[in-house]
Structure 1
């Protein structure tokens, strides 16, 4: 009996993951998940209290991996985010996370971009802005927002459109494009 429950729960999660990936969090309903899972909507609620709980269960491991990455990155206080060595350390770890949790990362980033206030990414946005401000103390807040906006959309685009082997190359290009010689380029503006 327990194996059957686990099979149903896994079926719900797998179908919800596919639908969240395809449609986004807000455009996916519990009814769609039930139809894809060939069960009733009421049966989903036996396993998950609501869509948010289901969502959080699906992205939990990716979320925790990103938190660890952010904690490690924020501890590297002596490193300058505008230094390519620092950026590539973070990028290498992110690529490893994307190999394991690619769909979950897309789901998380899309939800953040749709809502604009997902806690993990607000923390990441603050960290990136803080590190950039250290290297460029006179940069305007709107410019910081623009950089983080481009960064998140670039990551999302790469995760959605690149093969796993090309993600590193595409994200490296984006990092080079955004951050290489940034101090010198910004000073000219």
Structure 2
């Protein structure tokens, strides 16, 4: 029998593990249902990116948060044609925590964050320089040494894994 022709397209599903956005491109790390890791570096106008059912313009790519489901359509060269991402859900594996940053203490080795959530529950986190997580402040990703610039009183949104370890943190300046 003749060899089967390779399909022109491949649709795969996975979980968005990590998002990194800089001025030029969006980097996505995706783990598919077979535990294969995929990395995409996307530039403006390169492909269509959908988030929560809405096509996003490049200026809105900062809304994309890790932890949600992803569907990617690839052509036969394994180039992405489009990517559809759903926001992380409140599920047993992850917790989306929203609240107010009530206190922050910084020293050279660790940062302490005290957060009061929307149900007035207090959460305390100790972040070490070696921790692998994205922390953004007013939409700008911060390096560990820059965390001393964070002011208490602003809104916080973070994704916690099932062990309540932060995967990413977004903090806003107090209003």
Which of the five TM-score ranges fits, normalised by the shorter chain?
under 0.3
Greater helix fraction, Structure 1 or Structure 2 = 1
The structure with higher relative contact order (CA 8 Å, sep 6+) is 1
Greater strand fraction, Structure 1 or Structure 2 = 2
